[in-house]
Structure 1
Amino acid sequence: MTTPATVRSAAGYLLSWIEAQAAHRRVPGVQVAVRSGDELVLSAAVGVADVAAGTPLTTGHLFRVASHSKMFTATAVLQLVEAGRMRLDDPIGRHLPELSAGSSPIARATVRELLGHLSGVARDGAAADFWQLEQPFPDRDAVLAEVLRDGVVHRRNEYFKYSNVGYALVGLAIEAVTGTPYAEHLRSAVLEPLGLTRTGADHDPARTGEFAAGHTALLLGADRRETLGQADTGAMAAATGFFSTAEELTVFGAGHHFGDERLLADDSKRLMQRLESVVTAYGSEVGRYGIGMALMTVGDRELVGHSGGYPGHSTQTLIDPVGRLVVSVLTNAIDGPAEDLAVGLVKLVDLALQPRVEVPPPPDGAPPPASFTGRFSSLWGVLDIAELGGRLVMVRPTLPDPLPTVEELQVVDGSTLRSAAQPGFGPAGELIRLERDADGRVASLRYGGVTCRPVAPPLRHLPG
């Protein structure tokens, strides 16, 4: 079980690490939220919502969270299953008779297979330049026509075949079962029970000014990004239409904790979170998937959740339904490192909760840990001395993975630290000598004999 108080105490450094990552990796904006148990311990925004306009990003800006939509769709299906209105083993043709009338083998694919990407149906169709915003996303008739014409790629259950078209079919089935438009049903069945007001199933033109702008990637050494607009996703909303904020996505994620039955009974959550596919391509495992959720192991945590890739936005939410931790990271660039940042935050949370190795306690009368902390740099890069879980650790904040080079630090006296004695190629076990200014702040330190000096903190863009 995650301890909210410990995670809350680490929130300041979690944000500082995100700031360093965003600056180093040149991400326009990052919106981040961390929920531990029932408590929102971090909600923050760094950078800009629009590079061209220079608008500061806030925690209220809306992001297109793309394939997060699949978690919402699968949740709605399991609710209908619990109510006896749909079965996971229903053939999709039962709800979409056009497929049966057209003699498509996809008509026999089950709802479960579509939700688990095992139906063999095409990913996006033969003409998918809607992903470049060069044409509209397909409507109901266009999706069905595409499936009837070119929908079959593999036999059912032959391969894991990620399919947005398959989720579009499930969205149409939800409409057939409920007699209600997809967005309207999802609002009443999933969003309102959680009190989500900044989340919706597709682009809402009335809220255009609330969206963070999307941005192109930095390609081949380029240093300029182009700003991208918004688009309605039509019948593909069930696969990729949703918008939200990091904060509200952690509320949705907490709805999938065991014991929280606002959305689903625990039996249904176990179905969604159960491993359906180990995805292996060219001999290497590239992912794991359940029903509407991706599965991932980080340290000792078994996580579920989803990523999202929309023109101009890259997003990731990770949920520990047993340890009751949710991390959501939203970036407004196609190449935004949302997964790296979310995984890194989980690792830093666990570092706060559990030392990598025990070191001797501080001597009596030693200054508090906070008096040693800061961000420092030398010719060889940047390092942080951070307080996590009441301990001092050294972190290299520009590395994609913070954990492998983390060092536990021992307080020797008010001007000396020692890195934990461990095998390695660096100065492990050596003293770190500090110089303090007249106000007692760390003015420099020597790590491995090299002088490191404080780095001025970057500008934070937080809501007023």
Structure 2
Amino acid sequence: MPDALDSENLKEVLAYYDSWLAFNQRYRRIPGVQAAVLFRPSPDDPGQAFAGDAVAFSAAYGQADVEEGVALTEQHLFRIASHSKTFTATALLQLAEQGKLRLDDKVAMHVTEIVGTPLGERTIRDLLSHAGGVSRDSDEGDFWQLGKAFPDRDELLRVIKQPGTDVLADNDRFKYSNIGFGLLGLVIEAVTGTSYNDFVQTAIVDKLGLTGLGPELDPNRAGEYAAGYSSLAYADQRVPIDHIDTGALASATGFFGTARDVVSYWSAHLPGDDRLLTDASKRQMQHAWWKTAEDDGSKYGLGLMVSKLGERELFGHSGGYPGHITMSLVDAKWRLAVTVLTNAIDGPARQLAEAAFKLADLAESKPRQEATGLGRFTGRYANLWGVMDVVLLGGRLYVLDPTAVDPAADPTIVEVDGDDLRITGGSGYGALGEAYRFAFGPDGEVESVRGSSGLSHPIEGFTLPGRVRVSTVQA
């Protein structure tokens, strides 16, 4: 993988990513998708700000409210749920830098109500890395289905004190816990003398000047939230799910945001940006402290997920709230960050976010080629068998399948041959050595493409009859 991302390649990647996201929102029956990409190629340039001007792409697709027919915009707010853990970790590292606590402090030093309990003996670092062995949500977690309210402070303390909440010994293995991060919120309140929500709003959100971001459901902005929807796994139709306050678990799952502001927040976690934390603190957060499973796949730092995607090392976080699934991924080497927000409880946010990096890898897989006239072939073409995209990436043309979870996994490589595209690479199950024959109209627009699977048309003009019979498909 190259050491840096070519900005011209990124422009081509984002142009196709926009089209691919729009297609997948419809194809995968996701009510709405909001996405943003940030690129900060010049960390040492004092004249370039570290904030919103680094957002290279932001878009929204589908609907914020299906029943009311409200189109989703870039300004609609999503519940980003466990992204909250990154804000909680950032706040605790800030307090450690200020000498107000140590990460190896036992939690009971600050939350005195739990002195003498097993969880009181856990350290802040234990809980930040999910190594405290704490119950994930307790055995009363019906708040995740809106069967009850999220716990308030007193209820959270009751759960923390009750026998059995310490499920495993500390530092035995990774064990994800929302209860543990709720306890870290209480630590922040004890150390700062203010509420968790007020502290992170001032110390993080306001410091970054991000108005589309906040620590908890804001009733004054009720009309700005995208509605959340149920899954298609157990029903043919989705139903809307109400937004509710997350109470004392805001430090684990309360945050809301737009994709643009969430991805802008991640710029503050890139090396060289000292608005929130020193680079030393960021290295602690981004260090992979624990494997999350027995294999060598994803790992966890301090309030951050750490993973590999091919040769690429990423950090970030996912979020799962009733009706919203979200994902942010950051490549510190390429200084590239992607945030995808979906308003369905089965929304494929991770796959949609990972696709941006995979397309960038395809664009960078060969030295950039500069050629003119390639754009006239690009587009989305359909026939009875499906859809193909002719895409310009890295100055080269590829034929990709937009229905694939990884659109760059099996590219067909093509080269210009007059008014045709000759297939020069790809799977042997394809039509290697054969051609896509293009028919152009008087205005230069593609009218049709003929390949080994028959005739295709630009998708916007493709239709099928009520029943497919001999000679009834478009020709």
Query: TM-score when scaled to structure 2?
Result: 0.90
Query: Residues 286-320 of structure 1, C-alpha deviation per residue, up to 9 Å, x if partnerless?
Result: 63111111012123321100000000000000011
1:53-452 equivalences under 5 Å are 53-100=68-115, 103-149=116-162, 150-220=164-234, 222-280=235-293, 284=295, 287-355=298-366, 368-413=373-418, 415-422=419-426, 424-452=428-456
Which blocks of at least 5 consecutive residues in structure 2 are unaligned? 41-49, 463-475
Query: Residues 37-88 of structure 1, C-alpha deviation per residue, up to 9 Å, x if partnerless?
Result: 1621110000000111110000000000000000111011111111111111
> In structure 2, what is the Cα distance between the partners aligned to 1:430 and 1:69?
52
Moved more, 169-178 or 372-381: 372-381
> In structure 2, what is the Cα distance between the partners aligned to 1:85 and 1:428?
65
* Contact 1:375-1:385 within 8 A present in 2 as well: yes
Shift of residue 449 of structure 1? 4.7
> In structure 1, what is the Cα distance between the partners aligned to 2:58 and 2:425?
36
Shift of residue 346 of structure 1? 1.4
SS at match of 1:456: helix
The one-letter code sitting in structure 2 at the alignment partner of 1:174 is I
- State the Cα RMSD in Å: 1.8
Counterpart position of 1:28: 31
* Contact 2:79-2:321 within 8 A present in 1 as well: yes
Shift of residue 358 of structure 1? 8.8
> In structure 2, what is the Cα distance between the partners aligned to 1:343 and 1:315?
12
SS at match of 1:420: strand
The one-letter code sitting in structure 2 at the alignment partner of 1:406 is P
Query: Residues 125-160 of structure 1, C-alpha deviation per residue, up to 9 Å, x if partnerless?
Result: 111111011211001111111011131110101121
> In structure 1, what is the Cα distance between the partners aligned to 2:300 and 2:356?
22
Change (3 A) 1:429 1:274: farther
Moved over 4 A (4+): 283-286
Residue identity (%): 45
Change (3 A) 1:56 1:449: closer
SS at match of 2:460: coil
> In structure 2, what is the Cα distance between the partners aligned to 1:449 and 1:65?
43
Shift of residue 444 of structure 1? 1.5
Alignment partner of 1:14 is 2:17:
yes
* Contact 2:173-2:290 within 8 A present in 1 as well: no
Shift of residue 418 of structure 1? 1.7
> In structure 2, what is the Cα distance between the partners aligned to 1:406 and 1:296?
24
Shift of residue 420 of structure 1? 2.6
> In structure 2, what is the Cα distance between the partners aligned to 1:322 and 1:174?
31
Moved more, 184-193 or 435-444: 435-444
SS at match of 2:271: coil
Counterpart position of 1:52: 67
Query: Residues 151-201 of structure 1, C-alpha deviation per residue, up to 9 Å, x if partnerless?
Result: 111010112110000000001100111111111110111112211111110
> In structure 1, what is the Cα distance between the partners aligned to 2:330 and 2:301?
13
Q: How many residues align?
A: 446
> In structure 2, what is the Cα distance between the partners aligned to 1:432 and 1:105?
68
Shift of residue 97 of structure 1? 1.2
The one-letter code sitting in structure 1 at the alignment partner of 2:33 is V
SS at match of 1:147: helix
Shift of residue 22 of structure 1? 1.0
> In structure 2, what is the Cα distance between the partners aligned to 1:196 and 1:104?
39
> In structure 1, what is the Cα distance between the partners aligned to 2:120 and 2:31?
44
* Contact 2:368-2:394 within 8 A present in 1 as well: no
The one-letter code sitting in structure 2 at the alignment partner of 1:134 is G
The one-letter code sitting in structure 2 at the alignment partner of 1:270 is R
> In structure 2, what is the Cα distance between the partners aligned to 1:286 and 1:404?
19
SS at match of 1:426: coil
Shift of residue 423 of structure 1? 5.3
Shift of residue 422 of structure 1? 4.4
> In structure 1, what is the Cα distance between the partners aligned to 2:337 and 2:100?
30
> In structure 2, what is the Cα distance between the partners aligned to 1:262 and 1:3?
27
* Contact 2:85-2:252 within 8 A present in 1 as well: yes
* Contact 1:203-1:241 within 8 A present in 2 as well: yes
Shift of residue 2 of structure 1? 2.7
* Contact 2:35-2:260 within 8 A present in 1 as well: yes
Shift of residue 447 of structure 1? 2.9
* Contact 1:4-1:41 within 8 A present in 2 as well: no
SS at match of 2:442: coil
* Contact 1:171-1:238 within 8 A present in 2 as well: yes
Counterpart position of 1:461: none
> In structure 1, what is the Cα distance between the partners aligned to 2:7 and 2:425?
30
SS at match of 2:205: helix
Change (3 A) 1:358 1:162: same
Query: TM-score when scaled to structure 1?
Result: 0.92
Change (3 A) 1:261 1:4: farther
Counterpart position of 2:44: none
